[in-house]
Amino acid sequence: MSLTLKEAKALDTEATIGPWPVDKLILSYLVATAILTVACFSRIPQAWWLLSLKAAGVMLVVLAWRSKSMASWLFRNWYPAFYIAACYKELNYLIPAFHPSTADEALARIDLATFRVNPTVWIERLYTPILTEYLQIVYSMFIPAVLVVAYIFWHKRRLREFRYYGFLISIGYLVSYVFYFLVPARGPRFLLAHLHHTQLQGMWTFDWFRQLLDNLEGIHYDCFPSGHTEQTILAWWMSMRLSRRFFLGFTIFTASQIFSTVYLRYHYVVDLVAGAVIAAVLILIAPRVYKRLKRLVV
């Protein structure tokens, strides 16, 4: 029988007073982006608002790690999901302040030099409405799929693995955000629109999902690396700890997710290669980083 939340909290020996590894990671990112915001204050719309939100976010975490209450415990376990989402949204304001242009043409040239064709143009020969429908649904389920792995760890009260998974996913997102600063790009569906001969068409929900994502993301420069590829691989890796059946299902989802990034024209192939490489590096080094952050006194 699964433990109640009260029982789980009582047995959670890792839930110590003071900062956890994920706190140190996220707060470091918030401080770094706050410094960048101040440095480019005049070029960032709503800079005061962004700085105020960062300050409030930091204070909430600090207050939570000083408390032993159930509310603080729940907040500390789950807040990274909301903070990471907020950090993603602020990129809409920060990246244009640093980069007046994008790296799309350079990324497209790498693909063209590698394959002698533009992959999103070549792949048009595979288009069918049912495949487009399926892949758009898979692509849109990216965040729910990452979260469902976390939920299963949580539901089974495997809190040590849940907390490490939260750290792994958080560092994966934040590393990708740094690359978005360094290599801002919007994707082949914008740069190569004049070369595509066929309009993507699904069957039932394709247009709704595509419009939903566009509305949620806004104008973003989040192609390199492919976060969908990177994060899905990280979640797939951790899903091996859950059950054989779930892992096999997640393997199919992961393969479909990676293929969908190019098929649906969201990414260049070089983006997903970079995402896969970063995921592999993080799988190797994240355990050591996690242990070191545990020992780091703040």
Q: Residue 280, Cβ neighbours under 10 Å: how many?
A: 14
Cα–Cα distance measured from residue 286 to residue 296, given in angstroms and rounded to the nearest whole number: 15
User: Does the pLDDT at position 296 exceed 90?
Assistant: no
Mean per-residue pLDDT, 199-203: 91
Q: What is the DSSP letter of 264?
A: T
Where residue 101 falls among pLDDT bands split at 50, 70, 90? confident
Mean per-residue pLDDT, 138-143: 95
Cα–Cα distance measured from residue 213 to residue 220, given in angstroms and rounded to the nearest whole number: 11
CB-based contact 169:235 (threshold 8 Å): yes
CB-based contact 18:65 (threshold 8 Å): yes
Residue 133 pLDDT: 96
Query: Which of residues 246 and 2 earns the better pLDDT score?
Result: 246
User: Does the pLDDT at position 261 exceed 80?
Assistant: yes
CB-based contact 172:214 (threshold 8 Å): no
Peptide bond preceding 184 in cis form (omega within 30 of 0) = no
Mean per-residue pLDDT, 129-150: 96
Question: Left if phi > 0, otherwise alpha if psi is -120 to 50, otherwise beta: which for 267?
Answer: beta
Cβ neighbourhood burial of 172 (10 Å; 0-12, 13-18, 19+): buried
Average pLDDT, the chain: 93
The identity of residue 19, as a single letter, is P
Q: Closest Cα to residue 42, out of 97, 4, 90?
A: 97
Q: Average the pLDDT over each of 25-39, 62-76, 214-228 and give the range with the smallest value.
A: 214-228
Where residue 5 falls among pLDDT bands split at 50, 70, 90? confident
Mean per-residue pLDDT, 264-275: 97
The two three-digit tokens of residue 160, written as one number? 């040590």
Residue 297 pLDDT: 63
User: Does the pLDDT at position 87 exceed 90?
Assistant: yes
Please identify which residue in the block is written with the tokens 């048009």. 124
The angle formed by the CA atoms of residues 230, 137 and 235, to the nearest 5 degrees, is: 30
Q: Is the pTM of this model over 0.75?
A: yes
The angle formed by the CA atoms of residues 194, 195 and 198, to the nearest 5 degrees, is: 95
CB-based contact 120:192 (threshold 8 Å): yes
The two three-digit tokens of residue 247, written as one number? 């892992």
User: Does the pLDDT at position 298 exceed 70?
Assistant: no
Residue 1 pLDDT: 55
